[in-house]
Amino acid sequence: MALFIGLGNPGSKYENTRHNIGFRVIDKLLSDLGARDISKASFQGELFKYSNHYFLKPTTFMNLSGKSVLAVKQFYKIDMEDIIVIHDDIDLPFGALRFKRGGGHGGHNGLKSIDGVIGKEYIRVRVGVGKPEHKSQVADYVLHDFSKEEEKYIDRLISHTAEACMKLTVETLTEVKSKFSLKSLDGVVG
């Protein structure tokens, strides 16, 4: 059993923003697997099930994602080691992909919210979105759409990430890291 959580903000205004890469990976998984919707108002998110896996897109807005995660975790009695959070990471170049268990939130409000309610020892699938020139531009940067150039490669990055996520259900974190980690866009383009 695994609970995959894609981080993002609800609404068409945010659909293609850098901050919503987690939602886009979940959408790809849902499309590939044909998962069924099992959402309930109490989950504060869109929840889908395929086989014995759950796929969550919190609809609370990023900084309250933990509320939705906690509701689903408690309802289905999901263990910490079975939680996988997919999120944007500005500390990685666009196209990079990293995996780790635990760690800090790095200023990411979605992770901060989740850490605050369930702890930090879940698996993080970190999708590199690059970073702006100045720290003061971060909020604006992550809430903007990918550039036209980036959009050319985004589908391949999302597919690669979705494949890696499903491998986490049958292989160890170390195995998935060695097979699917990307240093940059070169891994997706090449």
Q: Are 106 and 135 in contact (CB under 8 A)?
A: no
H-assigned helices in 34-147:
65-75, 109-118, 138-142
Count of the separate structural domains present in the chain = 1
CA–CA gap between residue 88 and residue 8 (Å, rounded): 9
Q: Is the pLDDT assigned to residue 187 strictly greater than 90?
A: no
Active site residues: 19
123-128 vs 83-89, strand pairing mode: parallel
pLDDT digits (tens, 9 = 90+) for 106-116: 999 999 999 99
Q: How sure is the predictor about 190, in pLDDT bands with cuts at 50, 70 and 90?
A: low
CA–CA gap between residue 104 and residue 7 (Å, rounded): 16
CATH number at residue 126: 3.40.50.1470
pLDDT digits (tens, 9 = 90+) for 1-56: 999 999 999 999 999 999 999 999 999 999 999 999 999 999 999 999 999 999 99
**Of residues 188 and 58, more confidently modeled:** 58
Q: Domain range spanning residue 37?
A: 2-189
pLDDT digits (tens, 9 = 90+) for 51-86: 999 999 999 999 999 999 999 999 999 999 999 999
